[in-house]
Amino acid sequence: MTKLTDVAKAAGVSIATVSRVLNNPGSVNADTQQKVQQAIRSLNYKPSRVAQRLRSKGGNSKIIGLVLPDIQNPFYVDVIRGVEEAMYEKGYAAIMCNFAQNEDKERLYLDILQSESIDGLIVAPVHGRDQKVANMVLSGLPIICIDRGLTGVEADVVLVDNQQGAFDAISHLIKLGHQRIAYISGLPQIPTSKARLAGYEAAFKEHGLPVDETLIKYGDSKHESGMRLTAELLDLPTPPTALFTGNNLITLGALETIHSRGVKIPEEIALVGFDDMYWSISLNPPLTAVRQPGFEMGQRAAELLFQRIKDPARPTVKVVFDATLQVRSSCGAAAKNS
């Protein structure tokens, strides 16, 4: 690796001058400028980001952390793409960490990121009372929470109105005449699971219908849990007539179980999932789902992070996107409502 001294030697100036043309071009003689630029180019010099990071206080390292619960979930992939696009434009790099819904793993990654002296962090905390993340916020590191907030600490957050999304989904089902509507939740301690449950219950209340607790199942937010819990539901003496799945992966698991048993959708059971996928239309049947704008959320989170890095004192904000129901045919013939 060629370094500052090499360039300085080649250009016949001091390393300080080289550093200046890199960081403060205005402050140096045009001729010198030329010579140095020339040397930099011919030596193909690239500053060591490690040395830069060690030297500067923070906020100039152009590296941030991105910590997400499950990279297999296409929603988070969209978030990643959104974040990444915004980062790319600003020459930032992201250390991406997938903690697979595992708190220990999350902690390890967070430790690593801290010791990597990142400029900031975008994270979907394991749960609302994530002490580790809360402490990092308190320590002054610029942090944006995505998908899930933190309780008890002031922090920027960008998420979707989960309650409303679930409410819309269940209302749709109720209007179609369903009453025995099951809900397969992800990990119960995750804020989004709670909000979606709240929306589920609110919809029943709104229509004066009782909630049947036996139709609510809790899993771990993964594919396998969707398969297993759907089987349990189908095995009930009187199975539900409709199913609301708490996330992408659960939906796919549910679909697998339903198909393997030869149960017809939507005739024998209607299905609406939380989280849309761009290929939901190619599923059997085309899936009705609640869409979260993951890409936009990721972009937005990145922008908020840049702002906070620049101005750590900026008041915290909460950005709430709409969750929109995409009606296709897994709940019956294309309904009138859009």
Query: Should residue 138 be labelled a site residue for its own copies when binding is judged by CB under 8 A?
Result: no
- Select the binding partner of residue 295 from DNA, its own copies, none (C-beta < 5 to 8 A, by kind): none
Could you tell me which stretch among 75-83, 123-131, 182-190, 300-308 binds its own copies (CB under 8 A)? Answer: 75-83
- Select the binding partner of residue 31 from its own copies, DNA, none (C-beta < 5 to 8 A, by kind): DNA
Binding mask 177-196 vs its own copies (x if CB under 8 A, - otherwise)?
--------------------
Cα distance from N-terminal residue to C-terminal residue, the chain: 59
Token code pair at residue 311: 């101005």
Query: Should residue 21 be labelled a site residue for its own copies when binding is judged by CB under 8 A?
Result: no
CB of 157 to its own copies, least distance (A): 23
Q: Which of 19, 285, 296, 326 binds its own copies (CB under 8 A)?
A: 285
For 201-218, letters b (16+ CB in 10 Å) and e give bbbbeeeeeeeeeebbbb
- Select the binding partner of residue 210 from DNA, its own copies, none (C-beta < 5 to 8 A, by kind): none
- Select the binding partner of residue 138 from DNA, its own copies, none (C-beta < 5 to 8 A, by kind): none
Residues contributing to the site for DNA (CB under 7 A) = 1, 3-5, 12-17, 19-20, 22-24, 27-29, 31-33, 47-48, 51-52, 54-56, 60
Give the alpha-carbon dihedral of 292, 293, 298, 301, to 10 degrees.
Answer: -80
Query: Should residue 262 be labelled a site residue for its own copies when binding is judged by CB under 8 A?
Result: no
Please, what is the angle between helix 294-310 and helix 74-89, to 10°? 40
Residue type, 105: K
Count CA atoms closer than 13 A to 296's CA, side-chain side.
10
DSSP run (H or E) holding 111: helix 103-115
Residue number, 26 or 237, with CB nearest to DNA: 26
Q: Please report, for residues 25, 110, 121, 129, 131, the alpha-carbon distance to residue 52 in angstroms, rounded to integers and kept in the order given.
A: 17, 21, 19, 34, 30
- Select the binding partner of residue 20 from its own copies, DNA, none (C-beta < 5 to 8 A, by kind): DNA
Residue type, 262: G
- Select the binding partner of residue 37 from its own copies, DNA, none (C-beta < 5 to 8 A, by kind): none
Query: Should residue 41 be labelled a site residue for its own copies when binding is judged by CB under 8 A?
Result: no
